[in-house]
Amino acid sequence: MRNAAPGKRYQRLASVEANSKLIAPHTLPVRAASSELATLPGQLRIDPAEQTGGLPWLHGELATAPAQPLHLTIRICNSAGIPVIEGGLEIAPGQRSFTIRDLRPLGIEAYGHAPAAERHAVARRVWSRGVYCTFSPAARPS
């Protein structure tokens, strides 16, 4: 398999058919990017019923509520480890559960002129390439 270690198989998050309106339900594994984010869940639940721009919402729950606000960037990566979707997440002090609604595919600027339906179809194709996600601290808002 290209870009995969021998014996390892990567499973795509969803197989998206051309006429599909929803993305198959699934969970998205989380790979820890740093020890300071140890309270993050091991996986996120994908909600195909709720979407923004053709991409599903993601739900998760922290092991413990943070004492300080968390500002995180989520990156969904393909099997080669290349980020294909990115989003932001803010978690308030004391909050444990969260929903990520702000996801956007990376590298599809050439479709900016296309109708929304076509951009959503492209976003779903990009989504189908994702296999795991990572979180990293985001720049603090001013």
pTM over 0.85: no
The structure tokens listed for 38 are 């140890």
DSSP secondary structure letters along the chain: -TTS-TT-----S-PPPTT--SPPPEEEEEE-S-GGGTTS-SEEEEEEEEEETTEEEEEEE-SS--SS-EEEEEEEE-TTS-EEEEEEEEE-TT--EEEE--EEESS-GGGTTS-HHHHHHHHHHHHTT--EEEEEEPPPP-
The structure tokens listed for 1 are 């398999």
Is the pLDDT score of 1 beyond 50? no
- Of 25 and 135, which is predicted with more confidence? 135
Q: pLDDT by residue (tens digit) across 32-85?
A: 766 667 678 889 999 878 888 888 999 999 988 889 998 999 999 988 888 989
Residues 6+ apart with CB under 8 A from 109: none
Instruction: Please tell me the predicted confidence (pLDDT) of residue 34.
Output: 66
Instruction: Please tell me the predicted confidence (pLDDT) of residue 35.
Output: 62
Is the pLDDT score of 141 beyond 60? no
Q: pLDDT by residue (tens digit) across 11-34?
A: 444 333 333 444 445 888 998 766
Q: pLDDT by residue (tens digit) across 73-122?
A: 999 998 888 898 999 999 999 999 999 998 988 877 767 777 878 878 87
Instruction: Please tell me the predicted confidence (pLDDT) of residue 93.
Output: 93
